[in-house]
Structures are given as C-alpha cells and as structure tokens.
Structure 1
Amino acid sequence: MSDSLRPVTRPRLYEQVMAQLREYADSAGLRTGDRLPSERDLAERLRISRASLKQAIVVLEVQGLVEIRHGGGMYLRTDSLHPEPVARLVERRRRLPDVLDAREAMETKLAELAAERRSEADLAEIDASLDEMRAQVEHGEFGEDGDRRFHAAVTAAAHSELLGDFMHKIADQIAETRHESLSQPDRPRQSLAQHQAIADAIRERDVGAAVAAMRAHLASVRRVRLLDWNPDESVAQ
C-alpha cells in the first residue's frame, strides 16, 4: 500500500517574512511607488534580526517587486507583493545564462542581416514597435509588448527563415530574459534608447553599427539582479 503521507515541513523564516510583508502591503493598500517601513522598523515589528529580514527583501528585490534606494528607503515597484516560489527563481537563474548566450549568437546575426536586407515595410514595423514601447514606458510600464514587437521586427527584417524558426522556438525563454531586464530600475528607458540605436543602424544599412548596437543592448540585458543573487543565502535557513 502506497503511503501518501509526507513529513510536514515548516516554512523557512524568509518565506514567513515575505508572507507578512505581502499581507501588510495588501492591508495598507500600498501601490506602485509607495514606501515601505524602514528595515529597522520592520525588524522590530516582526521581532526578527535585520539579517533575516534582509534575506527576504533581497528575494523581493530580485523579483523586481521592490526597489532599494540607497539612503532613501524601500519602495514598491508593483501594486502588490506577491512573489513567485524561490524554487522557480532558482531554476530560472540556472537557465538564464544559456538563453542569453543563444540570444547574443542569434540576434547579433539577425541585426547584421537586417541591415543588409531590410525593406521599407520592415522599417515601418520597426518604427511602429518603437512607438509602442515609447508609449508604454511614458505611462510607467516596463514596455515588454513593444520590446517583444521590436525584436520580432528585426528578426523579420533579416529575412532568414531558419533563424526566425530558432527564435520562435525559444520565445518563452526570451520572454523571461525580457522581463528580468525590463524590471530593473530605469532599464525600460535605457532599453528604448538602445533599440533606437539598433533601428538607426539598420535604417542606414550600417552592418557594423547594427551588430555593435545589438551586442551592447544584449550586454545590458545580462546585467540583472537575479544573476547577482546567491540563492544559497536564502535557502540555507
């Protein structure tokens, strides 16, 4: 007879702290841009060490839910604090470098081909994608829809069926890197400017500039908080 009973596990301290912070934000009606209490105040009210509190805050920061402003406190970057399971974060952190390597290999080539082969219709779609992202960013959004549309437009402008198929097959993984990057503070506007540089080079048929601009853009995509995070510091509790 199979035994479906399993040992009861106790939530780790940092998980309990995140749950408390989530409930506090919900009950207080906090929204994007609102400030949370100081670390000292939170530690005293939760009756935990500041080191334990910091571990929970780091997980929230890695997920793009809060922003730590040095000397200025901690602020919400979303309308609620609903973190995903840490195990899922760990798995995404494991596969992220491989996806970024694949993006660099394929998208720099796509930028090169787009600069060589783009049509006026391709340029019109690239411009439309930039307009969409700009509108989203100006409204305080991350601009993910415009970002996705821009990279799809560059891929289409390359007129390479095989590379297009490759990009389609890893679209979900690319979406993860997009979200990680654009959830970094100030990143949406930086990304928009980088997209504009890529578009300008493609328009001018400047192959070298297109490749360099795409490579610089993807280098910034790599600079995400998740890759600096050491999950062992959290799961070790």
Structure 2
Amino acid sequence: MENSDNIIMMPFEPKRPYQELGLILRQELIDGHYQVGDRLPPERDIAERLDVSRTVVREAIIMLELENLVEVKKGSGVYVLNIPNQAHSREAVISDDAGPFEMLQARQLLESNIAEFAAIQVTPGDIVKMRAALDLERQELANGVEDEALGDKQFHVCIAEATQNSVLVDMLKDSWERREQSPMWKKLHTHINDQAYREEWLEDHARILAALQRKDPVASKNAMWQHLENVKQRLLELSDIDDPNFDGYLFSSNPVVLLGGD
C-alpha cells in the first residue's frame, strides 16, 4: 500500500543497484551476521567485499534507514536497530525511487548537454533571467535560507529555457520535482549540517553563466558537468559516516573533456 511519502509495502524485487545491495545486507541481518546494537562494517569494506561503488553502499544504507533497520550516527558508523522477519524477507518497506547519487548522475548527463545547446540558443533576455536567479541565490545565502531555496532551481530552469525547447524544459523540471519528492534524497540531507557548500555552488553557477554569456558551448557543457560533479563529491563528503578521505567520483574520467577536445 502506497502512502504520501512514496514508501510502499510490497513483495520486493530490486530494480536499482542500491536495492540489490540493500536486500543483500537485509538478508545478512536475517541470517544473524549482526545483532541489534552491532555496528556494520565501514562503507569501504562493504564496497570492496561486494564489488560495488561507495555511492551504491551509501544509498543502500539509506534504504535500510527508511525501513528503520539501521541508525546512522555521524562520525561513528551505522548501527543495527531491528532485525527483519525471515517470513517477510522478500517483503520490504522501501522507497521505490532512484538513489540520490543516481539522480545526480542522470542530471549531470542531461544538464551538461542542455547547457551546451543553451549556449547556442541563448538570448540577452535569457541572460538577464539567469543573473536575476543568481542574485536570488546570493540573497538566500545571505539570509541563511536553507530549505526550499528557490534561486538554485530557478538558475537551472533558466538555462533549460534558454534552449528554446519546451521538451528539455519539462525534462529538467521533472528531474527537480522527482528530487524534491524523494524520501531517499530527504534522508541523505538529514546527515548534512554544513551549508557552506552552497557558496561553492554559487561560484560554479557564476562560471556557467560566464560561459553562456560568451556563447561558448564547450565551456558551458564543461562548466555544468563540473558543477554537478562538485555537487556529488560534496554531498558524499558531507554525508560520509566513516572516513571523509575517499574517492567519491562516479566516473574515472570526464567524458566532456574527451568530447570537447582541443
């Protein structure tokens, strides 16, 4: 049965990487590998043992948090709260949405190409709107606005609108709405207290705007790609439970650089 938070009770078959890993960890709880109060191994150890990325481990832990099976203690680790029932081992209370880092990966691929096309199509009026969005971001940052910050979203929407393509605008808005309604995304942010990263992202936005003002498609694509890479890395670091010094990148290289060439 579905509720307002998109959490469902279902005989569960995984369709996302973090869900597959979450069910493995869930089964290890059922099989007695851990008891209530035990600390799970560090994320890096789980990733190496099961040959998955740290981002997938992070998302699987969020899945178990939403099931109230584990508790994350910042700077300490992940502790077992409850053991699931063997009789319901394939039935889970789980969020049926994409993991937050999977969402960011999709945004990175989509929005870097949107920025590239926008640089070709952008008008002076579009630039004015982007500057207004940046000004709103600065005001929100100065006023300490943390929740429902509108400037960030407005800036990205303005870039999509600069493509003069309504389908791309709809795709961009859909990706933001999906994030805003995601229990996985909301749970990730409960582990993030430091808001200083927003200043870094504002600087990223300024670089994107500068490239768009020059009508430089390669620079615009690269700037957007790097911005969302920075977002992923910063969220990984700020929500890290074990050791902040790890390789959080989802890609071994930047394909935009390879595509852009010299």
TM-score if structure 2 supplies the norm length? 0.50
Is it true that 1:209 corresponds to 2:223 in the alignment? no
Q: CA deviation at 1:95?
A: 1.2
Q: Distance in 2 between matches of 1:138 and 1:120?
A: 27
Partner of 1:199: 209
Query: What are the within-5 Å matches in structure 2 for residues 153-168 of structure 1?
Result: 153-168=158-173
Q: CA deviation at 1:201?
A: 0.4
Three-state SS of the structure 1 residue aligned to 2:145 is coil
Where structure 2 has 5 or more consecutive residues not aligned to the other structure, the ranges are 1-35, 39-70, 78-91, 243-262
Q: CA deviation at 1:186?
A: 1.4
Q: Is the 8 A contact 2:211 2:219 kept in 1?
A: yes
Q: Distance in 2 between matches of 1:173 and 1:60?
A: 31
Determine which of 132, 140, 165 is the counterpart of 2:144: 140
Q: Is the 8 A contact 1:144 1:182 kept in 2?
A: no
Q: How many residues align structurally? A: 154
Query: What are the within-5 Å matches in structure 2 for residues 75-154 of structure 1?
Result: 91=95, 95-142=99-146, 144-154=149-159
**CA pair 216-132 structure 1, distance change in 2 beyond 3 A:** same
**Which is greater in Rg?**
1
Q: CA deviation at 1:111?
A: 0.5
Cα deviation code 1:57-94 (max 9, x no counterpart): 41999xxxxxxxxxxxxxxxxxxxxxxxxx99x85996
Q: Distance in 2 between matches of 1:172 and 1:182?
A: 21
Three-state SS of the structure 1 residue aligned to 2:144 is coil
Percent of aligned pairs sharing the same letter: 23
Q: Is the 8 A contact 2:111 2:224 kept in 1?
A: yes
Q: CA deviation at 1:214?
A: 0.4
Q: CA deviation at 1:101?
A: 1.7
**CA pair 60-184 structure 1, distance change in 2 beyond 3 A:** farther
Query: What are the within-5 Å matches in structure 2 for residues 24-43 of structure 1?
Result: none
Q: Is the 8 A contact 2:121 2:162 kept in 1?
A: yes
Where structure 1 has 5 or more consecutive residues not aligned to the other structure, the ranges are 1-11, 15-54, 62-86, 231-237
Partner of 2:74: 58
TM-score if structure 1 supplies the norm length? 0.54
Paired AA for residue 58 in structure 1? K
Partner of 1:186: 196
